Amino acid sequence: MTERNPMNESDLINKSNAMEVIKKHDFTMRKKYGQNFLTDARVLMKILDASGTDDTDTVIEVGPGIGTMTQALSRIAKKVIAVEIDDKLIPILGETLAPYDNIRLVHADIMKLDINRLVEEENGGQPVRVVANLPYYITTPVLMKFLEDRVPMKSMTVMVQQEVADRMAAAPGSDNYGALSLAVQYYAKPYLAAHVPPNCFIPRPKVGSAVVSLECFDRPPVSVQDEKQMFALIRASFNQRRKTMVNAVANYPELTFTKEDVAAALAEMELSPTVRGEALSLAEFAQLSDILGRK
For the chain, which residues make up each domain, given as ranges?
15-216, 227-293
pLDDT, one tens digit per residue, over 237-258 is: 999 888 999 999 999 999 999 9
* Whole-angstrom distance, CA of residue 21 vs CA of residue 18: 5
Q: How far apart are the first and last CA of the chain?
A: 50
3-state secondary structure string, 282-295? Answer: HHHHHHHHHHHHCC
Structure confidence by residue, pLDDT tens digits, 173-213: 999 999 999 999 999 999 999 999 999 999 888 899 999 99
Lowest-confidence segment of 186-190, 204-208, 274-278, 282-286 by average pLDDT:
204-208
pLDDT of 1 above 50? no
CATH 3.40.630.30: does it fit domain 227-293? Answer: no
Q: What is the pLDDT of residue 3?
A: 47
Compute CA distances 119 → 81, 123, 125, 146, whole Å. 9, 5, 5, 11
pLDDT > 70 in the chain, percent: 97
pLDDT at 9: 61
Class of domain 15-216: alpha beta
Radius of gyration of the chain (CA): 21
